Amino acid sequence: MSRKTKSIIEVTLIYLFIAFMFVVIAYPLLWTIGMSLNPGTSLYSATLIPENASLEHYKWLFTSPQSDYLTWYKNSLLVAAANSILSVFFTALIAYAFSRYQFAGRKYGLYAFLVLQMFPSLMAMVALYILLNMLGLLDSLWGLILIYVGGQIPFNAWLVKGYFDTIPRELDEAARIDGAGHLGVFFKIMLPLAKPILAVVALFNFMAPFTDFLLPSIILRDPDKYTLALGLFNFINDKFANNFTRFAAGSILIAAPIAVVFLFLQRYLISGLTAGGTKG
């Protein structure tokens, strides 16, 4: 077999694999969109996009007095934005300390972060419930934010510390010669150079509250404080009113704020990839 023929076969297999993965990813999404346009409540339709497609479910979510969708959306945006901002701030501080300073317990602290990632979050649910109860933060969005921020710190700190380690220490020394203090170096040198990895942390922590169901279901009790994942579950939880079409419509709209944040941070993500490829 000639090299050219072998190359053609390899490229063909790659494209076939990409096409297969595209179908695997796109079909459920298209099916969910079609279900959201189905004027009834059925999961099934003769075609992928119903013949009598309607936007009545989207209209119901925003205009019906029986719908709390806008409240759930507002709660999710609050939790997601606070989680993203606070996670970036605290993670950057912790990663900076572990990357640039030598202190007692530094090595064991890093190992502790690594070990904490080995256990599933489900194991800590009872302890988290008791902790929030002691703090008076049960059935509170801020209690939920506290758990999200604290729970993501070990993994995020390892991630950002690795990026900080690639930034030359000579930049720190030059800034200190010019009179910058510890916080000056952090805010004026480290944070601007670490925008790509911080954008990744911000994006992941913004996405998490929109799709997480387990933690809000344990902490939140008041329907007015539900997040989207918990609120939408009510559409399919009642065995006498399984409204999967409204559930599908509400689920599709979850992608909107995530897409906006992704587009806003895209230039930092791309610059992070290119910068990472040229660093020695």
Q: What are residue 102's phi and psi, to 5 degrees?
A: -105, 125
- Residue 194 and residue 171 share a domain: yes
- Residue 269 and residue 166 share a domain: yes
Q: What does the pLDDT average to over 159-188?
A: 86
Take residue 7 and report the two structure tokens written for it. Answer: 């190359």
Take residue 68 and report the two structure tokens written for it. Answer: 């709390």
Q: Quote the pLDDT of residue 280.
A: 38
Q: Quote the pLDDT of residue 86.
A: 95
How far is it, in rounded angstroms, from Cα 114 to Cα 124? 16
Whether the per-residue pLDDT at 275 is higher than 70: the answer is no
Q: Judge contact between 154 and 113, C-beta under 8 A.
A: yes
Give the range of the structural domain holding residue 231, as residue numbers without chain letter.
66-278
How far is it, in rounded angstroms, from Cα 14 to Cα 7? 11
How far is it, in rounded angstroms, from Cα 88 to Cα 148? 12
Residue 134 falls inside a structural domain:
yes
Where a domain ends, among 29, 54, 79?
Answer: 54
Q: What does the pLDDT average to over 113-131?
A: 81
How far does the chain reach from its first CA to its final CA, in angstroms?
39
Q: What is the pLDDT of residues 6-58, one digit of tens each?
A: 888 888 999 999 999 998 988 888 888 888 888 877 666 666 777 778 888 89
In the chain the beta strands, taken as DSSP E runs, fall at none
- pTM attached to this predicted model: 0.83
What percentage of the chain has pLDDT greater than the value 70? 92
Neighbouring residues of 256: CB distance < 8 A, sequence distance ≥ 6: none
Q: What is the pLDDT of residues 242-265, one digit of tens each?
A: 678 888 889 889 988 988 888 888
